Amino acid sequence: MSERVVRLAEALLEHEVRAVFGISGSGLSLQLITALEQRGVPFYTASHEAAAAIMAGAAGWRTGTLGCSLSIRGPGLGNALAGILTNHYEQRAALSIAEALGPLTPAGMMHKRLEHAGALAFCSKAYATLGEPRETLAGLATAARAEIPGPVHLDLFAEDAPALRVSASAPAAEGRAGDAVRRLVERAARPVLVVGGLATRRRWGARLARLRVPVFTTFAAKGVIDERLPFAAGVFTGDGKARSPEARVLPEADLVVGLGLRNLEILRPRAFPCPAVVVDLVDGVAEGFAATHVWRTDGDEPFEELLSLLEARCWGESVVTEATAEVRRALLADPWLPGAVYDCLERELPGVGCFVADAGWFCTVAEHVWRATSPTAFLASANGRSMGTGLPMAIGAALADRAQPTVCAMGDGGVRMYVADVKLAVEERLPILFLLLSDGRLGSLAGASGLSRRATTVAGPSWFRVAEAMDCAAQQVKDVDGLVAALRRWRWREGPMFIEAVFDPERYAAMTREIR
Ligand SMILES: Cc1ncc(C[n+]2csc(CCOP(=O)(O)OP(=O)(O)O)c2C)c(N)n1
């Protein structure tokens, strides 16, 4: 085994890599897997390199460690790119490692050639070759975790080439908007907070729960305050319709205070119905909110200072209570749609450790109905809204924490992409409830009249017998009683279960109409 690979394995361990996901080649990647296994770091083979990168991002995020995925060069990394892009959108600190052709490889060697650095340029924060493993890994891990967190990449050559690093861009200078922001916050009688994913990573996040003004989070920050609290106004997307909490609460406010509010986390950034200020650690991500002032800061103090000012305010409890009750009423009115399923889950499976939602209408319902109690208790392709990512995210989250059940809600579209990895969940006896919410269509797209039906109809939408054939306990349910019975049969400590809930497509298509 190459001595450099051994040193890389040791450096990975030092930088909190606790599991590796991927598909091996016969060369350095297999050596690395072996060296890591000898040091107690397990390797999980995924069905596809994209799924592996997504699992790595989710596992790292769930444990606060550095997610790690592995592939061969060219087509291996090419496949991984979709998962690396997901980690970029979702701002997950994760390292991808690929075997690569080094500078000494003859130019005519075209087999599986891909210019990795170029292919990764958009979505990877830093790119490096091995050089001195400890030093290189330290640089990559720091870049992955620095605000805005995201994926970084390491290429492994057979030859010993010096390290090459493209580092993240330097932070801009501190802005001068502080005084103006302070004055506006001091004068506001009815301020509303909109808090971004940044809060999940900062020490001031915990203080939000003490406020007595309405607090929205972006979808990426769902759970940063316990959503059962009286001032938790729910998820702000920028795209909420009449019955969404954002449409009801924001018109009552006289100032929006965005803490780490970034257009990267919003479906449709646009002007608020009142003046707005944004405070952030990074520049260039508040465009679209028409904020009166954007205050770029260097540390936590300005956030803490504004939170102290806001602690003196109290308004909006009844507006928030009515708005959140109204959206629940709308989504729970039908006795058998995803809202009723989540409500039933909350009662029947009270110890859910992590709720994972794939992209689709059922996810919009989960956004409002599923009440997250902490940011690590909810996981989704919150920013990218990338269909299919839910299943590998759930596997990564469950591998990182097997002590409580993980729920993976997905639709007819998303289930198909990485369904083969149900086998990995079975092999590892993971406590995952795969919950297929099936309307037989790509529901989010099927509402438009006069457009192709063929493109939005799913042929043969049922999967529970396929899951059963993969040795996963599975059942189809058509009402709440059936769901309750299936849930009561699930012994989650013994392995996954696949429940397919079948809905009427017309009622399904209408359920989010006034919400988004
Ligand atoms: C990777 C990717 N491809 C395509 C889309 C576009 N898209 C958004 S929602 C959706 C349909 C989702 O259908 P389904 O999983 O059945 O959930 P439903 O909308 O029926 O709740 C599609 C194709 C996407 N978001 N991501």
Say what the pTM is.
0.96
pLDDT of residue 74: 98
Top mutation candidate among 331, 393, 442 for ligand 1, by most atoms within 8 Å of CB: 442
- Ligand 1 centroid vs 385 CA: distance in angstroms? 8
pLDDT (tens, 9 = 90+) of the chain, 516 residues, equals 899 999 999 999 999 999 999 999 999 999 999 999 999 999 999 999 999 999 999 999 999 999 999 999 999 999 999 999 999 999 999 999 999 999 889 999 999 999 999 999 999 999 999 999 999 999 999 999 999 999 999 999 987 666 665 555 555 566 679 999 999 999 999 999 999 999 999 989 899 999 999 999 999 999 999 999 999 999 999 999 999 999 999 999 999 999 999 999 999 999 999 999 999 999 999 999 999 999 999 899 999 999 999 999 999 999 999 999 999 999 999 999 999 999 999 999 999 999 999 999 999 999 999 999 999 999 999 999 999 999 999 999 999 999 999 999 999 999 999 999 999 999 999 999 999 999 999 999 998 778 999 999 999 999 999 999 999 999 999 999 999 999 999 999 999 999 999 999 999 999 999 998
- Is residue 495 lining ligand 1, measured as CB closer than 6 Å? no
- Please list the alpha-helical segments (H only) found in 219-300: 245-249
Atom nearest to 415 CA in ligand 1: 15
Q: Is 367 in the pocket of ligand 1 (CB under 6 A)?
A: no
CA distance 303 to 294: 13
CATH superfamily, region 333-510: Thiamin diphosphate (ThDP)-binding fold, Pyr/PP domains (3.40.50.970)
Tell me if 66 CB under 6 Å of ligand 1.
Answer: no
CB 443 less than 6 A from any atom of ligand 1: yes
Q: Which residues of 357-381 are buried (b: 16+ CB within 10 A; e: fewer)?
A: bbbbbbbbbbbbbbbbeebbbbbbb
> What angle do helix axes 49-63 and 75-89 make, rounded to 10 degrees?
40
The sign one gets for the Cα dihedral 229, 233, 237, 243 is: positive
The residues near 21 (Cβ < 8 Å, ≥ 6 apart) are 43, 44, 46, 51, 52, 53, 55, 56, 59, 67, 68, 69, 70, 396
pLDDT value of residue 169? 56
Closest approach atom of ligand 1 to CA 410: 15
Domains of the chain: which residue ranges? 3-166, 178-321, 333-510
Residue of 421, 339, 346, 378 lying closest to 48 (CA atoms): 421
359 C-alpha to ligand 1 centroid (Å): 6
CATH superfamily for 3-166 is: Thiamin diphosphate (ThDP)-binding fold, Pyr/PP domains (3.40.50.970)
Tell me which residue of 37, 28, 47, 7 sits closest to 427, measured CA to CA: 47
Name the residue of 387, 393, 412, 435 to mutate for ligand 1: max ligand atoms within 8 A of Cβ: 387
Q: Token pair of 410, please?
A: 């997905």
Top CATH class of 178-321 equals: alpha beta
**Same fold: 178-321 with 333-510:** yes
Helices (H), 75-115: 75-89
Number of H helices, E strands in the chain: 18, 19
